[in-house]
Structures are given as C-alpha cells and as structure tokens.
Amino acid sequence: MGPLVARLSRGGRRLRQADRNRPWVLDSAVVAVVFLMFCLADLLHGGAGDGDGPRRFRLAFTQLPLAAMLALQAGLVLPLLWRRRRPVAAFAAIAAVFVLQWSLGAALRADVALFVALYSLTLHGRLRQLPWACAATAGAMVLVAVRVSPPVSVWDALFFLLSTTTAAVALGLMIRVRRAQLAGLRERAARLEIERDQRSRLATATERTRVAREMHDIVGHNLSVIITLADAGAYATDTAPERGKEALQLIGDTGRQALGELRRVLGVLREPADGAPGGPELSPQPGLADVDALCATVRAAGREVVYRTSGDVDALDSGVQLTAYRIVQEALTNTLKHADTDARVHLAIVETETRLTIRVQDTGPDRTPGQHEEGHGLVGMRERAALYGGTVSAGPAGGGGWSVEAVLDLTPQGGVR
C-alpha cells in the first residue's frame, strides 16, 4: 500500500506542476470531456427530451433546430475555458445561457456546465460572491422545476436540483478548505525551516564568540607571561645564569599549559571519527581554585601579587567560577602588559549572599592615554559578566596604577538562593 500511495503522490505532484506550467491544457480538457459526454449525445439524438423517457416527458420540451442547439451548447460549454481565471464571469455567462435555454423550453445535457461553473466559482472565486451565485442558481432551478412540472412534481424536481447544487458547492468548499490547510502547512513548514536556520546561525555565532573569547583569554595571558619571562631570562643570562634557566623552565611550563587549554577548547569543535569515542577527553574548566596557580605564573614573571578571598568561593557554581577566573586572568594579563616590573598587584575576590566582587589593582605609575583605550580584553570581561547580570569597570586607581572591578549577580532566577 505504501509504494502505491507514494507513486500516486508523485503523480499528483507532476500533474499539479504541469497544470501550473500550462493551465490551458486542463481547461481545454474539461471542455472536451463535457462536450463528448453531454453535448455529443444531444447532437446525435436531438436533445435531452427527445428519444428517451416516457412520451409525456418528451412532449414537455421544445425541439430545437441543430443550429440553435449548437449555439446554446457553445454558450454553456465554452465559458468553462476561463472558469478558473474568471470564475464569476464564466458563471454569469453560463447562467444567462441556461436561463435563456429553459425559457425556450429546451432541455440539454450540457446544462451540467452550470454546476461545473458553480463548483469552480466556489473553489476559485471570492467567498463573498458565493451567496449571490447560489441565489441565482436557486432561481434558475425554480425555473427548471416549473418547466418540468407536467411530468414531474415541482417539489421532487426542486429537491433533486437543489441537492445537486448543494453537492457542487460543498465539493468546492471542501477542496478549497483542504487547499488552504495544505498551503498553511507548507507556509508553516517553510517558516519553521527559516527559524531553524536562524537558530542554527545564532548558535554558530554564539559558539564562535565563546571560542574566540576563550582563545583570547588563553593566548593573551600565556603569551604575555612567556614574553615577560623571556625578557627577564635574557636579562638574567649574563648576571644570574640560574635565573635564566629558571625562566626557560617557566616558559616551557606556561607553554604546555597554554597548549593543553587550546586543545581543550578546540577539541569541542572537532567532529568525532566513525567508531571513535563520543568526544575528546576534556580536563575540567578552570575555577577559582586555579587562581593561585595563575598568580604564581604572574609572580614568576616578576610581579608581586597579593591575593585574598572572602566568603565561600569554592561553593560557587562552576559557570560563575569560570567567569571569575577568566576576568582575573584578563586583568592580570593587562597588568603584565602595561604595569612596571616592580608593580604590586592586589587581587581580592569577595563573595556575599547575592554578589561576587572581583578587584584587581596594581600600584604602578599612571599609564599613558593610549593604554587607557578599551580593547577586546575589557569587552570580553564585560560580556562574561553580563551573562550573570554583572558589570565591569576599569580606570586609573587612586594614587597611581590601574584598577579593574567586576561585580557578578549571584541571585538565581526566581529570587530563591
């Protein structure tokens, strides 16, 4: 049953496509079918009331000459050629010929064209025009019922004719509603596809931004530490070779740490191979427990770092801890880039019931105006803080140096902690 339905569905789609390309073919086919099934019999036998049925039924109708019969048949059938493009005009023309024919007392099998036109108007025309068409058809049916009243009861004739009219209208409405439903489903499917593509693009852009932010934090911080250590090692090579060796070892450790973090970030972007495990082996994301190691790398680069915490920072959500770690990392990186080598850095992370405050302040001299300009690092910090309804402010500190302060909102959605 399934393959048969699929073949019928494909055939229906091909027919609809062919009809859209050449609509005149179907219209001409309808006219040809009506002529062959209804008009040809009248031409051969002299009309619907001649040659068939009881004698009293045959005598109730007027026998038309062949030319008049052809003219009436043409008036009934030919307007069907534009029944879809101009359904009102086609119906009006056929109804006028229909009334003229029955006014003459003639009966033609081609009268079926009136019901075809009414069906087409219901399907293709404007619905506000349908009541007038139904009223005109009902009036024409009354005329027919009166004309056939000698052999047939008026009420019996009206019941049959109005039932046929109702069937034509009902069929047109049913197909019209069905087409409207299918059009709505197609529109909804197209809209859902567009929304899916938009969500995919937004997700891609969000992921690209996240990866770029992680890359900036990882590469920026570790390269700043490596450059500072390399400069210090080169300076100490002649005066204190052991310090130069220590600087090289720290450079290696920092490089390996940076490489590991880069592999972790880029590993989530790699598609797993067929038959491979479900994903890369990832180390945990850094948190506030890793800030001590971060401060150690800055101290190794020659800066003095004073670090203190307040509150239960280890119990914070992992997402909050990652955000705080990256903000601290970026602030310390800026200190390595811009502060003097003898600058002292004060780092404080304070957790209260509703917020987490991060302060990073160095005691170096005032920086040049060009160093105060906002770069990608400060933008990244603000984007991270915004995820938790927080803010980041940065500027010259009182008494010299530079200060960065970030405040994250720890209040869960719904107001319950």
Each residue of 120-146: pLDDT tens digit? Answer: 999 998 989 899 999 999 999 998 888
H/E element holding 139? Answer: helix 130-147
pLDDT band at 150 (very low <50, low <70, confident <90, very high): confident
Question: Using CA atoms, how far apart are residues 329 and 331, in angstroms rounded to an integer?
Answer: 6
Q: Higher-confidence residue: 163 or 15?
A: 163
What local confidence, expressed as pLDDT, does residue 372 receive? 45
| Residue 218: pLDDT over 60 | yes
Residue 313, CA distances (Å) to 66, 92, 321, 322 in order: 104, 84, 8, 12
- Averaged pLDDT score across all residues of the chain: 79
| Residue 274: pLDDT over 60 | no
What is the percentage of the chain residues whose pLDDT exceeds 70? 77
Average pLDDT over residues 14-38: 80
What local confidence, expressed as pLDDT, does residue 247 receive? 73
Question: Using CA atoms, how far apart are residues 57 and 128, in angstroms rounded to an integer?
Answer: 39
| Residue 270: pLDDT over 70 | no
pLDDT band at 373 (very low <50, low <70, confident <90, very high): very low
What local confidence, expressed as pLDDT, does residue 5 receive? 61
**Rg, C-alpha atoms of the chain:** 44
* Strands 402-409 vs 391-396: parallel, antiparallel or unpaired: antiparallel
What local confidence, expressed as pLDDT, does residue 284 receive? 63
Average pLDDT over residues 87-105: 91
Residue 46, CA distances (Å) to 50, 91, 202, 298 in order: 6, 26, 74, 110
pLDDT band at 406 (very low <50, low <70, confident <90, very high): very high
pLDDT band at 281 (very low <50, low <70, confident <90, very high): very low
Cα–Cα nearest to 349, from 357, 361, 360:
357
What local confidence, expressed as pLDDT, does residue 9 receive? 65
Question: Using CA atoms, how far apart are residues 307 and 299, in angstroms rounded to an integer?
Answer: 11
> Is 162 within 8 Å of 144 (Cβ atoms)?
no
What local confidence, expressed as pLDDT, does residue 149 receive? 78
pLDDT band at 416 (very low <50, low <70, confident <90, very high): very low
pLDDT band at 278 (very low <50, low <70, confident <90, very high): very low
What local confidence, expressed as pLDDT, does residue 412 receive? 67
| Residue 275: pLDDT over 50 | no
Average pLDDT over residues 344-365: 88
pLDDT band at 335 (very low <50, low <70, confident <90, very high): confident
| Residue 27: pLDDT over 70 | yes
Average pLDDT over residues 248-267: 72
What local confidence, expressed as pLDDT, does residue 307 receive? 92
Average pLDDT over residues 203-217: 70
What local confidence, expressed as pLDDT, does residue 350 receive? 92
**Range 58-67 burial, b when 16+ CB lie within 10 A, else e:** bebbeebeee
What local confidence, expressed as pLDDT, does residue 11 receive? 66
| Residue 266: pLDDT over 80 | no
Average pLDDT over residues 249-256: 75
pLDDT band at 106 (very low <50, low <70, confident <90, very high): confident
Question: Using CA atoms, how far apart are residues 40 and 284, in angstroms rounded to an integer?
Answer: 87
Tell the residue number behind the tokens 């567009």, with chain if given. 194
Neighbours of 156 (CB within 10 A): 12
DSSP H helical ranges for 148-290: 154-239, 241-267
> Is 326 within 8 Å of 359 (Cβ atoms)?
no
What local confidence, expressed as pLDDT, does residue 1 receive? 52
Q: Higher-confidence residue: 417 or 248?
A: 248
How far out from the chain centre does Cα 251 lie? 49
**Range 243-257 burial, b when 16+ CB lie within 10 A, else e:** ebebbeebbeebeeb
Average pLDDT over residues 393-417: 77
SS3 category, 85: coil
